Structure formats: C-alpha cells, structure tokens
Amino acid sequence: MNQASPREVRVEHERTAPQTLTAAAIAETAGAWFAIGERVPGTSGRAVDFHRWYAAWREREGLREEPIPQALKLEAADAFEAIVPWEQLQHAAILVATEQGEPLGDIGPVRLYAPHGVSECLNVKRVVRLQFMERAPSDLEATYGFKKVFAPGEMRKK
C-alpha cells in the first residue's frame, strides 16, 4: 500500500481509486468549519463535521447511490489505529487547523474526534489513512490501539 505523506491523508473506498488529501482539501470539500470546542469541550482549533465532509466527498466521487459504510478504519502516523462502527461517528468531527487556520503540526495532518461513542470522546491524532469499510460484522465494537510493529531482526528465525 502506498502511504500518504505525514502532511496528507490517504482516503480509501473499495469503489474508488485511493487518493491523498491535505487537511485544507478536506476542509474545502466540507465547505464550512466550526470551532471544535463547540462539540468537544476543552479542545481548540478549526474542525469540519465528518458527515458533512463525507457526504460532499461521496457526491464528488459519484457514490451517492452506493451503500453507506458500516465502519471507518483510521490509521495514524504513529502506528495507532481504530475501527469505529458507522453509528458511533454520529457526532464525529475532523480537526483540520489551529484556531488561527494554521496546519496542526505534530498532531496533524488531521485529527478525528468521535464524541459519545465507545468512550467519552474517542480521538485519533496524526491520521494518515481513512478507509471506508462497506462490510463489517454486525456486532462490531469500536477497537483501537497500537499495531504491533516488528523490526526485521525480530522476524528472523532463531
């Protein structure tokens, strides 16, 4: 799989070609931003509503008639990943910039907040991949944590 650069997010959907987007492109597609603190108290920055962005992206990609995904898989630059059932993304937001409109720096390119889901507010910083999952088990629970990453030496037979 081609990786997005640390400043881009790779978006994957089985019915379209993978693409890489900047935080600015995500914000532009969504069309409007809001102060994330309105939705997630104690946070700051400019965010877009996840579903507003997804609907606009889906329309642009010609997927309006396709089924809504059952889950979203997120991968972060630090090997953290989460799989979130679609219904737990009801209030989700994508942080795309600081309060001043600057790139997020060390926590970017974007950060996803999913309040009122599996935890008080699941959030994934340094998101570099969004994968829309059309098929997922009906009893899927949100899962998150760090992937086990092996160094080449650990893979050798002893």
The pLDDT tens digits for 6-19 are 689 999 999 999 99
Mind spelling out the 3-state secondary structure of 101-114? CCCCHHHCCEEEEE
**What SS3 state is found at 97?**
strand
Distance set, CA 76 to CA 67, 117, 147, 158 (Å): 26, 19, 10, 32
Give the pLDDT confidence score for residue 140 in this predicted structure. 81
**What SS3 state is found at 17?**
coil
Model pTM score: 0.88
Residue ranges for the chain with pLDDT beneath 50: 1-2
